[in-house]
Amino acid sequence: MATREITAENFNAIVEAGGIVLLDFWAEWCAPCRSFAPTFEAASEAHPDIVFGKIDTEAQRELAGAFEVRSIPTIAAIRDGVMVFRQSGALPASALERIIAGVRELDMEKVRAEVEADKQSGA
């Protein structure tokens, strides 16, 4: 599956569909973003069961703000509606593959329990 453009209008529907959503926050003027784009696209072809979304931080300032994006590119992973990873900086293909493998291996019951515990403690 090729990458998809993610906007404020389609974000919730995509995330609520479940599964893994990998997001690339980028901007046209950002040279590291442009150099990372082929790596992200290749990963989208190699993992058709994952939604690979690109968020243009210039056009989607609200989404970038909601994810507290301070530098680009920033990669975020959402699994079953829970953000489980976020990191700034262009990644080599091998690092992106390790992130994908790690997100696949997560015990989501444990993750949800930790999120709930953080809410209870006010963290």
Catalytic residue ranges: 30, 33
54 contacts 6 by C-beta, under 8 angstroms? yes
Biggest distance spanned by C-alpha atoms of the chain: 42
Identify the sign of the CA torsion 71, 74, 80, 84. negative
Give the other-Cβ count within 10 Å of 110's Cβ. Answer: 9
The residue written with tokens 């056009």 in the block is 59
Amino acid, single-letter form, for residue 96? L
